Amino acid sequence: MFNKILFPVDLSESSSKVCPYVKEIADKFSSEIHIIYVVHVAHYYSNLDISAAYIGNFETEIQKGAEIKFQEFLSTFFKDRPVVTKIIVGRPGGEIINYTKSEGIDLVIMGHSSTGIERAIFGSVAGHMVKYSPVPVMVISPNLIKSG
């Protein structure tokens, strides 16, 4: 039923708490796991008078740092299994939807950040996915998951 599972991560503690769920569901369905991280920086500075070249360079540096953190995350939580991985630059919600469609994903499993009324119902990226995803989305609250 779920041949390909997508696990979009933000490299936070919340993402690490969702890992056991991704693994368990993948094991139950013998699913291929795809893990992506979306680098999104430019929108934070779009209202400032900063050159596009500078923002591009800054985004490149952020991407380099993200690659290091992403590899650390993978070697910590997924060293025991093969996974398909990718770092993408763009707006997280849209890029996750695009990846889901282009790779034939059957299920998206993700956590959500929470602050202020559960960050206006699930957080912006998780909320976007629940609303627009072409496949089922399982949102796991990291607040319900015990560490350790």
Where does the chain have alpha helices with state H? 13-29, 52-77, 92-102, 116-122, 124-132
Task: State the first-to-last Cα distance of the chain, in angstroms, to the nearest integer.
Answer: 30
Tokens 């629940």 map to which residue? 130
Element (H, E) at 4: strand 4-9
pLDDT at 80: 87
Considering just the CA atoms, what is the radius of gyration of the chain in Å? 16
- Domains of the chain by start residue, with CATH: 4-144 (3.40.50.620)
Q: Which long-range contacts (C-beta less than 8 Å, at least 24 apart) are formed by 100-104? A: 100/6, 100/133, 100/134, 100/135, 101/134, 103/4, 103/6, 103/34, 104/3, 104/4
Tell me the two tokens of residue 119. 């960050």
3-state secondary structure 24-67: HHHHHHCCEEEEEEEECCHHHHCCCCCCHHHHHHHHHHHHHHHH
Q: pLDDT tens, position by position, for the chain (148 residues)?
A: 899 999 999 888 889 999 999 999 999 999 999 999 998 765 555 556 666 666 667 777 888 889 999 999 999 999 989 999 999 988 899 999 999 999 999 999 998 765 544 444 445 788 889 999 999 999 988 776 555 4
Rounded to 5 degrees, φ, ψ at 34 are -110, 130
CA dist 110 and 117 (Å) reads: 18
